[in-house]
């Protein structure tokens, strides 16, 4: 099948994936994030922490995301975050405090790329892990849905909104409708985010939007929730 894009300006987004040799468990990701923020505190760049000062949150998609990929600490930098992360590496000191331990972090691989986030006339198949789609308001509504098909339709609308919100933060605007279809809900579990218990989902979906590997969607993307990866159909 010939793949073609709809007629609007195509925009390439810089992506940088930095993998360290150091292993983390999932609960240590916020500590990893805090250690990097502490290391770059002199720059006071809000892209590292998404706070504008006085504990005021910057409600925008995080351009620097802290993750655990293949058990290892990983930074995924998107858009403006690619340039800003240079402030962390400029120090040349990767001694980070994780809990009670001061650890020397070693870079394993650095993978730069240019990615296209766009609507196409074909579909792409993705997994998403530990996705947090529900807030306090829509949790009860989701719980009251009777059938699996109703739940999937509800989740698909949220997934659409997550993709749209992420794209707008990167200055990408679509003139066609985003389409998402959940193929399989593999796992539903309870995770704690900001001291609140939430439903986290592992699932597979198809969409007509091309998305970069390892970026996050939904809540908690700065600390490893909602990681997507393109799969073979």
| Residue 52 DSSP class | -
In this structure, of 39-53, 129-143, 144-158, 186-200, the range with the lowest mean pLDDT score is: 39-53
**High-pLDDT (> 70) share of the chain, %:** 88
Q: Which has the closest alpha carbon to 113: 12, 227, 20? A: 12
Edge to edge, the sheet with strand 107-116 lists 64-69, 72-78, 12-23, 107-116
pLDDT, one tens digit per residue, over 3-25 is 444 444 568 999 999 999 999 99
Residue 137 has pLDDT above 70, yes or no: yes
Distance separating alpha carbons of residues 39 and 22, to the nearest angstrom? 17
Domains, the chain, in order of start with CATH, read 12-115 (3.30.70), 118-230 (3.30.70.1900)
pLDDT, one tens digit per residue, over 175-191 is 899 999 999 999 999 99
pLDDT, one tens digit per residue, over 31-66 is 999 999 988 875 555 666 554 544 444 558 999 999
Distance separating alpha carbons of residues 43 and 160, to the nearest angstrom? 35
DSSP 3-state of 63: coil
* pLDDT (mean) for 73-84: 95
| Cβ burial, residue 159 (10 Å; 0-12/13-18/19+) | buried
pTM score > 0.85 for this model? yes
* pLDDT (mean) for 159-170: 96
pLDDT recorded at residue 40: 82
* CA-to-CA dists, residue 186 to 88, 180, 199, 200, 205, angstroms: 37, 17, 13, 11, 11
| Cβ burial, residue 101 (10 Å; 0-12/13-18/19+) | exposed
pLDDT, one tens digit per residue, over 215-228 is 999 999 999 999 99
pLDDT recorded at residue 217: 98
């Amino acid at each position: 099948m010939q793949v073609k894009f709809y007629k609007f300006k195509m925009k390439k987004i810089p992506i940088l994936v930095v993998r360290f040799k150091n292993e983390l468990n999932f609960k240590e990701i916020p500590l990893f994030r805090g250690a990097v923020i502490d290391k770059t505190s002199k720059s006071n760049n809000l892209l590292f922490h998404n706070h504008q000062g006085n504990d005021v949150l910057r409600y925008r998609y995080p351009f620097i995301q802290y993750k655990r990929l293949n058990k290892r600490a990983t930074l995924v930098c998107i858009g403006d975050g690619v340039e800003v992360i240079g402030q962390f590496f400029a120090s040349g000191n990767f001694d980070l405090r994780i809990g009670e331990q001061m650890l020397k972090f070693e870079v394993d691989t650095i993978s730069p790329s240019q990615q296209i986030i766009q609507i196409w006339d074909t579909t792409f198949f993705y997994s998403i892990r530990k996705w947090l789609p529900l807030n306090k308001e829509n949790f009860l509504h989701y719980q009251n849905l009777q059938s699996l098909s109703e739940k999937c339709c509800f989740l698909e609308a949220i997934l659409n909104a997550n993709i749209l919100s992420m794209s707008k933060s990167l200055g990408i605007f679509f003139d066609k409708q985003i389409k998402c279809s959940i193929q399989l809900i593999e796992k539903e579990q309870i995770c704690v985010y900001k001291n609140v218990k939430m439903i986290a989902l592992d699932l597979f979906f198809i969409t007509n939007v091309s998305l970069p590997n390892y970026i996050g969607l939904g809540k908690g993307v700065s600390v490893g929730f909602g990681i997507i990866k393109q799969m073979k159909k």
